[in-house]
């Protein structure tokens, strides 16, 4: 049993049911969100901490490996779950704050042609507490607490398809926005390959997070070669669901378009895409493919990506290129995890990277082995990170018109 799977009121009731006063439940909830476990100093008596840790798992996510980008202010994390499975996440640091990319499943069923997450299939869904636990782990790694949160934005763009784990993801969204860290929905983005009935369902939840649709093609015939689930849901149906989402939430849709050399990168593709999107309030995020060796697809040049954006702009579509973040740290979904063999997962692959448990720092970022460059960045961010709710977006893009302009998009 994972204690972070409980909402605050569920946890308080549970604490009472195992024989402790209700106020201890409230204290325990704060301790969990602050990343504490049975060995930590908290305002709970030791015997209560020990008892609850015997009955349930206090921290479901352990950071086992950290890779820092030399080029960018990004950190990739490999996490170990309680059953030994591995998942990953990425922290992206911007001037406005820190964005954490979280996973929603171990592996992925979608098997998109360019993505590393689906290479070994799907193993299981993450529980809501395991999704929340990723924020807890990295926030406390950064020296943050629930009140002084060091993570400003969250993007559900890691391993897995969030809408294929609908109930747990919605429970996570409720916990992350209405309690625990009290994120604003505008500071959370959910990316989907386009499971239309679930997009419509999400539109009715009253959780107006930014919806990102991985379109990657201007028509069904190309899309079906890249995204297998496109055989079940046509582009037309996906965009109709996106329109419904916009109507219900008033949130502009983000269209993600990963450009793959010779597959979807031509002038004609850009023109067709602009016609397709003419009536949807959206912004297109053009992403240069982060090449995954096993997938064999090639990335176009940065110039070709910019040309694609220029064509979209010329035809009246708002679009920017997204920086390819973390290409030196296995930045694409599932790449780091796939490098690490795990006996617990019954993996047969050889380990090319040894991993060990990373001690969770108890004090601040300064206690971590973070490069001076990144340390300076985190420190600089400290002030603004004491939650700037002004920032509605999820990350930064480079605008072709004004490179200084920071738009609300996620980078990988």
Determine, following the binding rule CB under 6 A, whether residue 115 of this chain makes contact with ligand SAH.
Answer: yes
| Closest approach of ligand SAH to the CB of residue 3, in Å | 27
Task: Name the residue among 32, 16, 2, 37 with its Cα closest to residue 179.
Answer: 32
* 8 Å CB contact between 324 and 335: no
Choice from 59, 290, 313, 338 touching ligand SAH (CB under 6 A): 290
| Closest approach of ligand SAH to the CB of residue 249, in Å | 18
| Closest approach of ligand SAH to the CB of residue 214, in Å | 3
Site for ligand SAH in 78-97 (CB under 6 A): none
Helix 267-277 / helix 235-249 crossing angle, nearest 10 deg: 50
Determine, following the binding rule CB under 6 A, whether residue 132 of this chain makes contact with ligand SAH.
Answer: no
Choice from 20, 79, 114, 183 touching ligand SAH (CB under 6 A): 114
| Closest approach of ligand SAH to the CB of residue 30, in Å | 31
Whether 175 is catalytic is no
CB atoms within 10 A of CB 178: 13
Catalytic residue among 88, 130, 161, 345: 88
Site for ligand SAH in 238-257 (CB under 6 A): 256
Determine, following the binding rule CB under 6 A, whether residue 289 of this chain makes contact with ligand SAH.
Answer: yes
Give the sign of the dihedral formed by CA 122, CA 133, CA 99, CA 369.
Answer: negative
User: At CA 151, angle to CA 145 and CA 153, rounded to 5?
Assistant: 145
How far from 390 is each of 111, 187, 248, 274, 395, CA to CA, in Å? 36, 9, 22, 31, 13
Determine, following the binding rule CB under 6 A, whether residue 397 of this chain makes contact with ligand SAH.
Answer: no
Whether 88 is catalytic is yes
Element (H, E) at 65: strand 62-68
Catalytic residue among 115, 185, 282, 333: 333
φ/ψ (deg, to 5) at 242: -65, -40
Output 138 or 325, the one with its CB closest to ligand SAH: 325
- Structure token digits, residue 378: 């985190």
Bridge-partner residues for 2, per DSSP?
A: 57
Output 57 or 332, the one with its CB closest to ligand SAH: 332
Output 114 or 172, the one with its CB closest to ligand SAH: 114
Determine, following the binding rule CB under 6 A, whether residue 14 of this chain makes contact with ligand SAH.
Answer: no
Site for ligand SAH in 167-196 (CB under 6 A): 191-193
Choice from 128, 165, 258, 385 touching ligand SAH (CB under 6 A): 258
| Closest approach of ligand SAH to the CB of residue 229, in Å | 9
Bridge-partner residues for 86, per DSSP?
A: 80
Longest dimension (CA), the chain: 68
* 8 Å CB contact between 253 and 282: yes
How far from 386 is each of 74, 173, 284, 390, CA to CA, in Å? 19, 20, 30, 12
Give the sign of the dihedral formed by CA 353, CA 354, CA 358, CA 364.
Answer: negative
Choose the stretch contacting ligand SAH; rule: CB under 6 A; options: 128-136, 287-295, 354-362, 395-403. Answer: 287-295
CA–CA dist 140, 143 (Å, integer): 5
Output 193 or 365, the one with its CB closest to ligand SAH: 193
Choose the stretch contacting ligand SAH; rule: CB under 6 A; options: 110-118, 131-139, 275-283, 352-360. Answer: 110-118
- Structure token digits, residue 67: 């890779």
Determine, following the binding rule CB under 6 A, whether residue 68 of this chain makes contact with ligand SAH.
Answer: no
Q: Pairing state of beta strands 188-192 and 210-214?
A: parallel
CA–CA dist 372, 366 (Å, integer): 9
| Closest approach of ligand SAH to the CB of residue 409, in Å | 11
Determine, following the binding rule CB under 6 A, whether residue 287 of this chain makes contact with ligand SAH.
Answer: yes
| Closest approach of ligand SAH to the CB of residue 310, in Å | 20
Determine, following the binding rule CB under 6 A, whether residue 333 of this chain makes contact with ligand SAH.
Answer: yes
CA–CA dist 359, 208 (Å, integer): 36
Residues lying near ligand SAH in the complex (CB under 6 A): 110, 114-115, 157, 161, 191-193, 214, 256, 258, 287, 289-290, 292, 332-333, 412
- Catalytic (active-site) positions: 88, 333
């Amino acid at each position: 049993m994972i204690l972070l799977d409980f909402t605050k009121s569920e946890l308080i009731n549970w604490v009472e049911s195992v024989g402790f006063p209700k106020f201890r439940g409230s204290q325990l909830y704060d301790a969990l969100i602050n990343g504490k476990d049975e060995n930590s100093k908290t305002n709970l008596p030791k015997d209560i901490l020990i008892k609850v840790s015997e009955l349930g798992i206090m921290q479901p996510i352990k950071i086992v490996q950290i890779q820092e980008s030399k080029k960018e202010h990004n950190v990739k994390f490999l996490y170990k779950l309680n059953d030994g499975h591995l998942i990953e996440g990425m922290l992206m640091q911007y001037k406005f704050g820190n964005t954490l990319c979280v996973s929603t499943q171990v592996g992925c069923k979608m098997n998109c042609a360019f993505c590393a997450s689906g290479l070994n299939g799907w193993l299981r869904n993450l529980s809501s507490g395991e999704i929340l636990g990723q924020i807890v782990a990295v926030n406390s790694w950064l020296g943050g607490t629930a009140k002084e949160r060091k993570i400003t934005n969250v993007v559900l763009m890691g391993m897995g398809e969030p809408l294929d784990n609908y109930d747990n993801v919605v429970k996570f969204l409720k916990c992350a926005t209405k309690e625990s860290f009290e994120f604003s929905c505008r500071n959370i983005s959910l990316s989907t390959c386009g499971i239309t009935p679930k997009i419509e369902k999400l539109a009715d939840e009253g959780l107006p997070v930014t919806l990102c649709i991985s379109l990657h093609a201007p028509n069904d015939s190309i899309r079906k070669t890249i995204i297998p689930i496109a055989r079940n849901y046509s582009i037309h149906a996906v965009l109709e669901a996106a329109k419904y989402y916009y109507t219900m939430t008033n949130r502009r849709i983000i269209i993600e378009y990963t450009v793959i050399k010779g597959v979807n990168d031509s002038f004609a593709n850009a023109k067709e895409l602009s016609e397709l999107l003419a009536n949807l309030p959206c912004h297109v995020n053009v992403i240069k493919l982060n090449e995954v060796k096993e997938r064999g697809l090639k990335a176009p040049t940065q110039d070709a990506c910019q040309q694609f954006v220029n064509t979209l702009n010329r035809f009246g579509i708002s679009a920017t290129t997204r920086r390819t973040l973390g290409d030196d740290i296995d930045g694409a979904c599932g790449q780091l995890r796939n490098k690490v063999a795990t006996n617990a997962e019954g993996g047969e692959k050889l380990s090319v990277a040894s991993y060990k448990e990373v001690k969770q720092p108890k004090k601040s970022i300064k206690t971590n082995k973070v490069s001076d460059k990144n340390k300076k960045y985190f420190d600089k961010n400290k002030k603004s990170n004491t939650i700037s709710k002004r920032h509605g977006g999820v990350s930064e893009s480079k605008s072709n018109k004004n490179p200084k302009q920071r738009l609300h998009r996620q980078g990988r």
